[in-house]
Amino acid sequence: MELHIFTLSNFLLYFPCVILIHLLCFMIKKFRVTVPNLLILQTTMSKKQVIIDTDCGIDDAQAILMALAAPNVELLAVTCVFGNTAVENVCQNVLRVLSVCEREGIPVFQGCAGPLVGANNLCTDHFGGDGLGDVLEDRDPRWKEKIQKENAVNAMIRLVTEHQNQVSLVALGPLSNLALAVRLDPCFPQKLKELFIMGGNMEGIGNVTLCAEFNFAMDPESAYVVLEEFLCPTYVASWEYSCRNSLTWEFFEELMGQDEPAAAFMKKITSKCWAYSKEAMRNKRDVYFSPGFVSYDAYAMAACVDSSVVTETIRCPVRVELQGSISRGMMALDRTNELKKSHSVHILTKCDVEKFARLLLASVQQPQKK
């Protein structure tokens, strides 16, 4: 009887292994699958599929570099939106970032050129007229040929439909493309795995208007639509989250001093930009927050690349103010459930800055691998 149990348990233990070995041998014979190919297949399967929606300014460039450097990320596409600069410049900026890292194969799509409602009040003093510090001279006259023909919003819907519940969307600019996506396909949000947003504020202190943060102020209606209708898990890296988890200017020097093309690129585009001048920042952001180097969009990207970077969140419903004469575009946190909303978002509050700094360092140490 004991012998019988021993045999049965052994059988149950080894039978799946035997089947697996036979399956492996069959694949190697039939499809000429090699061990390196199998390893690539396994790595690809376990990677996080990401779409970046961006208004590519300097901090967006840093965030895109972070995604490109992350071994666990497969970047499906970059979709462009107006914001830091005109959408045509955004497209060219994204192409440049991809080219620095020798990743030109990643498709880039052009999206919204302005907000859903009202005039396009481009605010170009932050990162210069071209969004990348106005220091790059060698413009590519054939950039349009390198942009996909499909519109960014359609591409976003198609890719998310093809990879249902697998795509992490990281939104780094005004949310116009996302708002249009949910209008064209009401099921779009539920097909997403998760959404990371850099934007909004939680203390009513604005950085472009009295009460509103830049990305939300540029298209308040879109920010409203996204925060009301995207019911997927949503993580908001607000302006305050970025500023309260700033890094030192000594670290900024270390980052720019790395001996790799991506670091040289970042050093060049930050060289004449007031937003990366510690003296200039003392009169702006540092009035409210401690002095330091802040790469806004990289905080949202870091949360997507490695969730353990975020060490504290507030979970609550939020709403974007549309009517207020001085608070239009402001994000309000509903801590007492006044709005009776069923959906809450994760407002990021604390960050493991050492881990975040390591991700930034890795992002400028490119290209080292494909």
Closer residue to Ca ion in complex, CB, 112/317: 112
Nearer to Ca ion, 126 or 191 (CB): 126
The answer to whether 65 and 305 are in contact (CB under 8 A) is no
User: Which two three-digit tokens encode residue 148?
Assistant: 């996909």
Per-residue x/- marks for Ca ion, 27-66, CB under 5 A? ----------------------------x----x------
Q: Comparing C-alpha atoms, which of 48, 77, 353, 82 is closest to residue 214? A: 82
173 binds Ca ion (CB under 5 A): yes
**Nearer Cβ to Ca ion (171/232):** 171
Is residue 174 a contact residue for Ca ion (CB under 5 A)? no
Q: Is 55 a catalytic residue?
A: yes
Q: Which is nearer to Ca ion, 173 or 292 (CB)?
A: 173
Contacts of 58 (CB under 8 A, 6+ apart): 127, 131, 132, 133, 266, 269, 270, 273, 275, 276
Cα 108 from Cα 104, distance rounded (Å): 9
Minimum separation from the CB atom of position 353 to Ca ion (A): 20
Which residues within the stretch 184-223 sit at the binding site for Ca ion (CB under 5 A)? none
Q: Give the shortest CB-206-to-Ca ion separation in angstroms.
A: 16
Distance CA(280)–CA(273), nearest Å, equals 10
User: Based on CB atoms, which residue is closest to Ca ion, 60 or 221?
Assistant: 60
Catalytic residue among 53, 55, 130, 219: 55
Question: Which of these segments, 168-176, 226-234, 284-292, 327-335, binds Ca ion (CB under 5 A)?
Answer: 168-176
172 part of the interface to Ca ion, by CB under 5 A: yes
Count the residues of the shown chain that bind Ca ion, applying the rule CB under 5 A. Answer: 5
Stretch that binds Ca ion, among 156-164, 170-178, 235-243, 281-289 (CB under 5 A): 170-178
Tokens at 139, concatenated: 């413009």
Residues annotated as catalytic are 55
* Chain contacts with Ca ion (rule: CB under 5 A): 55, 60, 172-173, 297
